[in-house]
């Protein structure tokens, strides 16, 4: 039986009730919210401790009513950590999130739905107009039910959230740090644009619940903190006062994750290995410890550090040779040839192997220093097609066409078991940055 995902995000169901305001700045907070530099006493909370139980491995799934919710770190993207909240047992229902120093940011949600009428059926959102009369349920495969989703009248849609005027930045959704003593409360307001996207292709599509071009919607959240709540200790309760999801309540327990929604409470943990499933989005587990500033468990390899700077001086002082035309063809650690030392441009990752060398620079500097009549060689072709949503070849799906490192026995899957747990993340990082902009 196909699993029905809870409809947690129901933005703009009644657009007249949600004021749309022109806004071009970053997400803001009102006077009741106080940003903190770090957790210095028990009154200051870091929501990462409540929403993201582990920065480098998936959390157990919590059973909340008939649903299961599992949080999975998905590695770094720039200076932000990416993670997913898997809502359904088949992985098709999930939310995509990012975390940085100030905010927990939501990017996409595949469980977009609207209520047909107050207290009525939930209808999955499709591209185009969504009304009472064209209600369909994606999870409903009962051919005799007029609401079944076997043949949708238009493609199913997922939600895309982004900062006002900045489509590339996921929308600020939860303030990361708050001054919130036990029994106390505070509130924060964020602004966002909401758009539709085709679930199958991830291409943009108009949805009548989205914000209008150039406009954003405000979302105000009241945060409360309880010493105990329904068997859980140290719980933060986020209640959406206005804006998308108005009236909804979320409960997060320190070190446990998402443990309640509205009147539903997590009953027990479930050992689930479900990962997000999408035909147009790529997901690969990875550490976000760098983004949250915490140590990992050591069970999952962390993202590699940035390349060390090349040693100063000595790059063009090597003796010229008649048998080569490139400084990166010299042996490692050649005297007076700084580029051949660990960290030089012939060995950026300092592993003693010139596989990640800047061959074009090596050729051009040799030509300038030693002379050469040949034109510079073209840069080496990438091992596989570059992608804009990753920064490491080992974040590509297994057996990606043209990407040998993702195949069994490649450096992303040395033992050939189909899992990248034993990947050479460092090589994947440097290889990607060597050939991709």
In sequence order, which ranges of 191-334 are alpha helices (DSSP H)? 289-292
pLDDT over threshold 70, residue 266: yes
DSSP secondary structure letter of residue 287: -
How does DSSP assign 67-133, residue by residue?
EEEEEEEEEEETTEEEEEEE-STTS-SEEEEEE-SSEEEEEEES--EEESSTTS-EEE-BSB---ST
- Determine the average pLDDT of the residues in 117-123: 86
* Top-confidence residue, 113 or 313: 113
pLDDT per residue over 343-354, tens digit each?
A: 889 988 888 888
Structure confidence by residue, pLDDT tens digits, 355-376: 888 888 888 888 888 875 455 5
Highest mean pLDDT: which range of 188-197, 330-339, 398-407: 188-197
Model pTM? 0.60
| Buried/exposed 191-204: b ≥16 CB within 10 Å, e otherwise | bbbbbbbbbeeeee
Residues contacting 40, CB < 8 A, separation 6+: none
Q: What pLDDT does 145 receive?
A: 96
- The share of the chain scoring above pLDDT 90, in percent, equals 44
Domain boundaries, the chain: 15-292, 393-435
pLDDT at 372: 52
> What token pair was written down for 83?
């993670």
Residue 34 pLDDT class (50, 70, 90 cuts): very low
């Amino acid at each position: 039986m196909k699993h029905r995902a809870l409809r947690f995000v129901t933005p703009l169901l009644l657009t007249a009730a949600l004021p749309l305001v022109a806004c071009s700045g970053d997400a803001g907070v009102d006077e009741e919210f106080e940003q903190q530099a770090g957790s210095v006493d028990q009154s200051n909370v870091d929501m990462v401790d409540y929403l993201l139980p582990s920065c480098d491995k998936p959390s157990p799934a919590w059973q909340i009513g008939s649903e299961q919710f599992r949080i999975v770190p998905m590695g770094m993207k720039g200076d932000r950590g990416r993670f997913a909240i898997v809502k359904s047992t088949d992985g098709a229902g999930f939310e995509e999130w990012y975390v940085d120093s100030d905010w927990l940011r939501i990017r996409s949600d595949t469980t977009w739905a609207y209520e047909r009428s107050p207290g009525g059926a939930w209808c999955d959102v499709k591209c185009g107009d969504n009304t009472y009369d064209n209600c369909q349920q994606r999870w409903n495969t009962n051919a005799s039910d007029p609401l079944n989703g076997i043949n949708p009248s238009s493609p199913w849609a997922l939600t895309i959230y982004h900062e006002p005027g900045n489509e590339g930045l996921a929308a600020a959704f939860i303030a990361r740090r708050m001054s919130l003593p036990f029994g106390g409360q505070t509130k924060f307001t964020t602004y966002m644009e909401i758009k539709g996207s085709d679930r199958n292709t991830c291409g943009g599509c108009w949805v009548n619940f989205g914000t209008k071009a150039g406009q954003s919607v405000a979302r105000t959240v009241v945060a409360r903190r309880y010493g105990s709540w329904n068997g859980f200790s140290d719980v933060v309760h986020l209640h959406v006062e206005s804006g998308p999801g108005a009236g909804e309540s979320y409960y997060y327990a320190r070190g446990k994750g998402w443990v309640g929604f509205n009147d539903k409470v997590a009953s027990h943990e479930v050992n689930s290995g479900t990962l997000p499933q999408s035909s147009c989005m790529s997901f690969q587990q990875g550490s976000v410890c760098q983004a949250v500033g915490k140590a990992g468990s050591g069970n999952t390899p962390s993202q590699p550090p940035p390349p060390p700077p090349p040693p100063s001086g000595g790059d063009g002082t090597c003796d010229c040779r008649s048998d080569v035309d490139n400084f990166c063809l010299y042996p490692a650690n050649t005297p007076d040839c700084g580029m051949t030392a660990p960290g030089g441009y012939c060995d950026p990752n300092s592993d003693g192997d010139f596989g990640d060398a800047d061959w074009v620079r090596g050729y051009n500097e040799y030509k300038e220093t030693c002379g050469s009549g040949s034109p510079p060689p073209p840069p080496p072709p990438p091992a596989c097609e570059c992608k804009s949503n990753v920064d490491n070849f080992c974040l590509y799906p297994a057996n990606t066409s043209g990407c040998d490192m993702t195949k069994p026995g490649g450096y992303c899957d040395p033992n050939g078991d189909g899992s990248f747990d034993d990947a050479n993340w460092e090589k994947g990082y440097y290889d990607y940055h060597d050939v991709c902009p």
